[in-house]
Structure 1
Amino acid sequence: MLALVQDVYGTSDVLRLEDVDRPEPAADQVLVRIAAASVNAADWHIMRGEPRIARLMDRGVFGRRGPRERIRGRDLAGTVEAVGAEVTGWQVGDEVLGEDEATLAEYAVVPAACLVRRPAGLSVEQAAALPLAAITADLWLTAGEVRAGSRVLVVGASGGVGTFAVQLAVARGAAVTGVCSTRNLDLVTSLGAAEVVDYTRDDVARAGASYDAVLDLVGNRTLRDLRRVVAPGGTLVLSGGGNPGEGRYLGPIGLMAKGGLFGRLLGLRVRIPRAEPDAERLTELAAMAERRELRAVIERTYPLADATAAMRHLEVDHARGKIVVTVGS
């Protein structure tokens, strides 16, 4: 089968399409014939091995010279091709979506517990865009205790996680302010944001407004700056974020470490949740998407043959929403 692989850390130039052996499902796994996959910030972090401290913190993902898993990708939508001996509830031909690893390929093996059924009204491209980004957005809002009437600031509102976070916060009844660049103002407004701040013109940290929940999905501000925009009793939720090539050694991990160590001293309630595959949450999000209560913003799709270009787009061009790679015919 064809797969997007790498053997050493680096930019998207180290990626190549290669013919590799088709995997066989273990007892608790499902073999999925991939129809579409999407790329996430996690993919370039792993591809580049950045920030470098992550190579020491997560030895299960990061090897010495390159990622332990050669094939890139996390999200998928496709069709069940085979099931492991202990798998129940799935059968050949089922249409699924989910999250694991090594999904930028024609086939992938996925733990059965990481898959959910693809609603009939959801295209494979829309389904593939959901898992990691939408689950992360929903988890971050839960960590920020976002509810009806909350004032929410989303820094990085036009990215993959950000576009879902804006919509899900609005769905909870919150008043959302998004932060993005000039070209994305209309997009973020269309997602339901009550206000949008153009960071190229205005500094939200010095505008004087404060919010019950601040979701920082970029990680390039100081803890003191972020403190200014968190209302008394509010919550600061920190994500990975960062930009390729910037902060190569510590990156946003430095901000998260400071938040964990010094947040309380600064009078901040800081949350740093860790997103994991969550079938129950993904089922709910997919149902919302089918009902058109949540939409995946897909800036561009690429065929698997151009998957390196898809990764380069994410790495260099700061994608609006999601980039999807189509695999099946």
Structure 2
Amino acid sequence: MHAIRFETFGDPSVLKLTEVPAPTVDAATALVRVVAASINPSDVKNVAGAMSQTTLPRIPGRDYAGIVEAGPAEWRGAAVWGTGGDSGFTRDGTHAELLAVPVTSLRRKPDNLSFEQAASVGVNYVAAWCGIEAAGLKAGETIVLIGAGGGVGGAAAQIARRIGARVIGVDRHAPHADAPVHAIAEHLIIGAKDVPAEIRAVTRGNGADVVFDLVGGVVFRSAVNSLALRGRLVEISATGQREVHFDLADFYHNESRLLGVDTLKRDLAASADVLDALTPGFIAGDYRAAPIADTCGLADAAHGYRKVAAGTAGRIVIKPQQ
């Protein structure tokens, strides 16, 4: 089969189109023909050497949608989708014609999603779901999304709306025109110098029940200072700085909670359970996949990686048969 693979870490130029043996399968493993597989920023970071767990040589890629070619009889020919924190890191990933996955990770693709759309859901929605689940967000509560214009921010806004929470978006720059947060957020705070003050101004001085910080690091102090009494702060990133400082007395007097979420700790099977939880929202039309900015074949995958590295709005999707 054909795949893109890297044998050393570096920029996207280290990705090479190569022919490798098709994966072997057993009773616990299914073989999926990949129809579509998106490129995530974490895939770019992986190739660059930012993920310490990655072993080489490696086929990258986390998200996919495809057709089961070999496996249990009830799954053969089924259209499936998936993602995983092990895929592309400690096991060969989705940027290939064929993919071996645990049978326990197989999930049927919602019929109202195309293969390209289904392949664009995984990382963003799994991160959003896990963060909101960790915070225990409830109907009627207020959630602040810092970095609301990004892929995870858009997914989190849609999940929070389905729960019945009030959404406030925060970002340094105005999100692109079709970002979900525009239609969902009651307030959208752009480029504020004092984010906690702005949050309290629109929450009658209370602050947020949940702050989902999608940036981390450089905005951590603003995030923790935006919490209401017994508020929960969820961190999934450490942009700009790994070590942060805050007033510990203020933190415990406010009875604040600090929660970390790492989707890389959820392998293909664990991520499949999250897709189960997300599926009703996609079937109902409450969630939508991010827009597809471009598609490419395996031969042009390195170019697709460069687009993602440059911050292209929308999803770049590899179609191995293209």
Q: TM-score range by the shorter chain?
A: 0.7 to 0.9
Give the distance between the partners of 2:101 and 2:304, measured in 1 at CA.
Answer: 23
Query: Residue in 1 aligned with 2:304?
Result: 310
Mean Cα deviation higher: 306-315 or 275-284: 275-284
Secondary structure of the 1:278 match is helix
Q: 1:40 to 1:90 in 2, by over 3 A?
A: farther
Distance 1:145 1:284, change over 3 A: closer
What letter is aligned with 2:308? L
1:187 to 164, 179, 182: 179
The answer to whether structure 1 residue 237 and structure 2 residue 234 are counterparts is yes
The answer to whether structure 1 residue 5 and structure 2 residue 2 are counterparts is no
Q: How far apart are residue 70 of structure 1 and its match?
A: 1.1
8 Å contact 1:158–1:320 — kept in the other structure? no
3-state SS of 2:188 partner: strand
Say whether 1:159 aligns with 2:150: yes
Paired with 1:220 and 1:151, the residues of 2 have a C-alpha distance of: 22
Matches within 5 A, 1:53-92: 55=52, 61-62=53-54, 67-68=55-56, 70-83=58-71, 88=72, 90-92=74-76
Kindly indicate whether the alpha-carbon contact (under 8 Å) linking 2:199 and 2:208 is maintained by their aligned counterparts in 1: no
Cα distance in 1 for partners of 2:215, 2:221 equals: 15
Maintained 8 Å contact 2:157/2:181: no
Question: Relative to structure 1, is the Cα distance of residues 299 and 94 closer, same or farther in structure 2, using a 3 angstrom cutoff?
Answer: closer
Code of the aligned partner of 1:44: V
Report the CA distance between 1:133 and its aligned residue. 1.9
For residue 44 of structure 1, report the CA deviation from its aligned partner: 2.2
* Residue 29 of structure 2: aligned partner: 29
Q: Distance in 1 between matches of 2:294 and 2:250?
A: 40
Query: What do the CA deviations read for 1:20-56 (whole angstroms, capped 9, x no partner)?
Result: 2221123311110000011223212311122xxx52x
Name structure 2 gaps, 5 residues minimum: 88-92, 201-206
Is the contact between residue 8 and residue 56 of structure 2 (CA under 8 Å) also seen in structure 1?
no
Deviations 1:217-260 (A, max 9, x none): 12242532222111121000000363xxxx5xxx55x45xx79x
Against the structure 1 CA distance between its residues 241 and 323, is the aligned structure 2 distance closer, same or farther, given a 3 Å change threshold? Answer: farther
1:69: Cα distance to partner?
5.3
TM-score when normalising by structure 1: 0.82
State the SS of the aligned residue for 1:117.
coil
Q: Aligned to 1:297, what secondary structure does the other structure show?
A: coil
Measured after TM superposition, the shift of residue 310 of structure 1 is: 2.0
CA 1:221–1:231: 2 relative to 1, 3 Å: farther
2:35 partner amino acid: A
**Which deviates more from structure 2 when the two are superposed, residues 177-186 or residues 146-155?**
177-186
Shift of 1:2: 1.8
Matched residue count: 300
**What amino acid maps onto 1:312 in structure 2?**
R
Q: Which residue of 2 aligns with 1:46?
A: 46
> Which residue pairs with 1:272 in the alignment?
260
Q: Does 1:121 align with 2:112?
A: yes
Q: Is the 8 A contact 1:185 1:196 kept in 2?
A: no
Decide whether the 8 Å contact of 2:106 with 2:272 is kept in 1. Answer: yes
Change (3 A) 1:28 1:151: same
Give the whole-Å Cα distance in 2 for the aligned partners of 1:191 and 1:184: 12
Q: Taking structure 1 as reference, are residues 214 and 323 closer, same or farther at Cα in structure 2, changes over 3 Å only?
A: farther
Aligned-pair distance for 1:265?
Answer: 5.6
1:104-128 Cα offsets, whole Å, 9 max, x none, are 1111101111220112222101111
Amino acid at match of 2:29: Q
1:127-146 aligned within 5 A: 127-146=118-137
- Aligned in 2, Cα 1:186/1:96: closer, same or farther, shift over 3 Å? closer
Compared CA separation, residues 150 and 112, structure 1 to 2 (3 A) = same
Structure 1 residue identity aligned to 2:301: A
Secondary structure at the residue paired with 2:184? coil
Structure 1: 5+ residue runs without aligned partners? Answer: 56-60
Over residues 187-218 of structure 1, what are the superposed CA-to-partner deviations in whole Å (9 max), with x where a residue is unaligned? Answer: 2444412121223x654244252211111112
| Shift in Å, 1:269 | 0.8
Paired position in structure 2 for 1:58: none
Aligned with 2:42: secondary structure? helix
